[in-house]
Chains A and B, each alone.
Chain A
Amino acid sequence: MENVPPHQQQQFMTNLEQMQTRDSFTMYTNVVSRCFDTCVHKFKSKNLDSREGACVENCAERYAKLTMRGGVRFAERNATLQQQAMLAGPPK
C-alpha cells in the first residue's frame, strides 16, 4: 500500500468499511435463517415460546462465538502462511 497515493488509500479504506458493513448484515440474516430453521417447527401461536426463544438465543450466541474464534484462527493462520512465504523468498 506504500506506493498507492493517499487519495486512493482513503478510497480503499472506505470500500473496505462498506464491505465489512455488508458482510455483517449478511451474517445477521444468515444467523436468523439458520437458527429459525433449527429451532422453530410449530406454529400454534404467533410468538416464540420460551423453549424456542432459548434455542434461538443459544444458537445465535454459539454462531457469534464460532465466528469470532474462526476469525482469530484464520488471521493467525494467514499470518503464519505469509511469513513462510516471505522466508521461502521469491519463486525460483
Chain B
Amino acid sequence: MDAAAQVKSQLFEMEMYSDLFSKMQELCWRKCIAHSKEEELSVGEQSCTDRCVSKYLEAHLQVGEILKEQSQQPQQ
C-alpha cells in the first residue's frame, strides 16, 4: 500500500472511531439518563454511563469478530 493510501486508510479508521463514539453517546444517553432538570449526573446515571461505555465497546469488538468471520465465508 503506498503512503497516500495508508494515510487515507488511517483517516477512515479515525472516522470510524469518531462515528463509534457518537453512536455510543446517543445510545447511552437514551438508556441511562433520566430527563431531570439538574445539571449534575446522579450517582446512578454516572455508573450507568460507565457500564454502558464498557458494554458498548465489548459489543463493538464482538461484532467485529463476527463480521470478519462472515466475510470469509462463501456467499449463498
A contacts, CB < 8 Å to B: 14, 18, 21-22, 25-29, 31-33, 35-37, 39-41, 43-48, 52-53, 56-57, 60-61, 64-65, 68-69, 72
Chain B residue at minimal CB-CB distance from A65:
B70
Residues of B within 8 A of A47 (CB): 54-55, 58
A19 to chain B, nearest CB (A): 10
Does B75 contact A68, Cβ atoms closer than 8 Å?
Answer: yes
Does B56 contact A43, Cβ atoms closer than 8 Å?
Answer: no
B38 to chain A, nearest CB (A): 20
| B3 CB-CB contact with A under 8 Å | no
CB<8 Å pairs between A and B, sample of 11: A18-B5, A18-B12, A22-B15, A29-B16, A32-B56, A40-B52, A40-B55, A40-B56, A43-B51, A68-B76, A72-B76
Does B12 contact A57, Cβ atoms closer than 8 Å?
Answer: no
Partner of A64, one of B48, B59, B67: B67
Residues of A within 8 A of B12 (CB): 18, 21-22, 25
Bound CA span A28–B67, Å: 8
Q: A43-B55, A46-B55 are in contact. List 12 more A-B contacts (CB 8 A).
A: A18-B8, A25-B12, A33-B26, A40-B56, A43-B48, A47-B54, A47-B58, A57-B62, A60-B63, A61-B70, A64-B66, A64-B71
Does A60 contact B54, Cβ atoms closer than 8 Å?
Answer: no
